[in-house]
């Protein structure tokens, strides 16, 4: 949908972007991904439980994006046309649902397994972009996404903890529920990406503002019922989580999405987990085995190859 009062379908939107537009979209999207890659530091230092941290991320992100809209004199853009408003509300609800499914999946599987499964999102993006937006998908980018996913699996270190020659491990039913949560959550996130592509006339960051607004309202009951973090450093880290990793990062990501095709976005999705793995290594001394280092290298090569001139 567009921001006009009249109905505009996705078919009326441009399917490709010019080289100058792609160049203008690459930098903000990459910067936003790098900022997101440092989110683990703020989560660890805050000491808050996942859903409480998520609420603070939404609340402070809402504050940051509101100030950003005021500085850019875009307060009027926060309330677009009715049909556009419906689209941004749906995107916000999908993102909050995706976060909740991710946390539920971690409890039933593990952080590593959930991370790998959640990053089937780029394949969902490619598939839905071709089916719903009728965008041309370069075969090379599909290959790059598949290679980057292989690199991600290696980089998480899952294979180094599997017994390749031992007896098969029997997983409980809850494990498979976690797998399902990841796949559905990844689909939700991919849908948010496509919504951002169809709202190109909405100023960058407005969609993120509505996501934060929905998350702040929906998750408010959690810290109220389970207690607030103690005043002090924790609140500072949580404020950074919202202002930097939500307000700044999402504004950058959506600014980039508006100028990039979905196949290129699908490849760039792997920058965030790669940066997060490197940050864990540099800051917390988490050991990276040979397979993990090889996985990061594979991801980097896949992204680099996708950027070569067509």
Q: Which residue has the tokens 């853009």?
A: 77
Residue 14 has pLDDT above 50, yes or no: no
Residue range 88-99: mean pLDDT, rounded:
85
pLDDT of residue 163: 53
The first and second tokens of residue 13, run together, are 């939107």
Q: Give the residue, 116 or 58, on which the prediction is more confident.
A: 58
pLDDT per position as a tens digit, 230-288: 888 999 999 998 899 888 887 788 788 878 877 788 778 788 888 888 887 888 777 77
Half-sphere exposure of 209 (CA within 13 A, CB side): 21
pLDDT of residue 91: 85
Q: What percent of the chain has pLDDT over 70?
A: 84
Residue 137 has pLDDT above 80, yes or no: no
Backbone angles phi, psi at 80, to 5 degrees: -75, -170
Q: Dihedral (C-alpha) 212, 216, 218, 222: value to the nearest 10 degrees?
A: 140
The first and second tokens of residue 285, run together, are 């001394």
Question: Which pTM was predicted?
Answer: 0.70
Judge whether 116 and 153 are in contact, CB under 8 Å: yes
How far is Cα 114 from Cα 118, in angstroms, rounded to an integer?
6
pLDDT of residue 237: 93
DSSP string, 255-268: HHHTTS-HHHHHHH
Residue range 18-43: mean pLDDT, rounded:
81
Backbone angles phi, psi at 201, to 5 degrees: -90, -5
CB atoms within 10 A of CB 211: 27
Q: Look at residues 299, 270, 2, 290 and name the one whose alpha carbon lies nearest to residue 151.
A: 299
Residue 200 has pLDDT above 60, yes or no: yes
Residue range 202-229: mean pLDDT, rounded:
86
């Amino acid at each position: 949908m567009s921001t006009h009062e009249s109905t505009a379908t996705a078919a009326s939107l441009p399917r490709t972007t010019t080289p100058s537009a792609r160049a203008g979209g690459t930098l903000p999207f990459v910067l936003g991904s790098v900022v997101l890659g440092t989110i683990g530091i703020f989560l660890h230092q805050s000491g808050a439980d996942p859903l409480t941290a998520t609420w603070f991320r939404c609340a402070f992100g809402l504050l940051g994006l509101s100030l950003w809209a005021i500085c850019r004199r875009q307060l009027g853009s926060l309330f677009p046309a009715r049909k556009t408003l419906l689209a941004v509300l749906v995107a916000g609800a999908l993102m909050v649902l995706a976060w909740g499914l991710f946390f539920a999946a971690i409890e039933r599987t593990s952080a590593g397994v959930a991370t790998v499964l959640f990053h089937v999102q780029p394949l969902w993006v490619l598939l839905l972009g071709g089916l719903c937006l009728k965008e041309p998908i370069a075969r090379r980018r599909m290959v790059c996404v598949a290679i980057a996913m292989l690199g991600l699996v290696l980089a998480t270190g899952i294979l180094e903890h599997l017994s390749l020659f031992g007896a098969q491990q029997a997983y409980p039913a809850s494990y498979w529920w976690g797998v399902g949560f990841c796949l559905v959550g990844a689909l939700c996130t991919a849908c948010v990406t496509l919504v951002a592509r169809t709202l190109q006339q909405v100023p960058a960051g407005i969609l993120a503002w509505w996501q934060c607004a929905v998350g702040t309202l929906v998750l408010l009951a959690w810290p109220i019922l389970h207690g607030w973090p103690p005043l002090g450093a924790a609140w500072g880290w949580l404020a950074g989580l919202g202002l930097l990793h939500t307000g700044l990062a999402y504004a950058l990501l959506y600014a980039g999405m508006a100028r990039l095709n979905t196949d290129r976005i699908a490849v760039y999705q792997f920058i965030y987990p790669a940066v997060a793995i490197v940050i864990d290594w540099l800051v917390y001394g988490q050991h990276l085995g040979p397979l993990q280092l090889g996985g990061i290298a594979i991801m980097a090569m896949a992204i680099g190859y996708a950027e070569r001139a067509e």
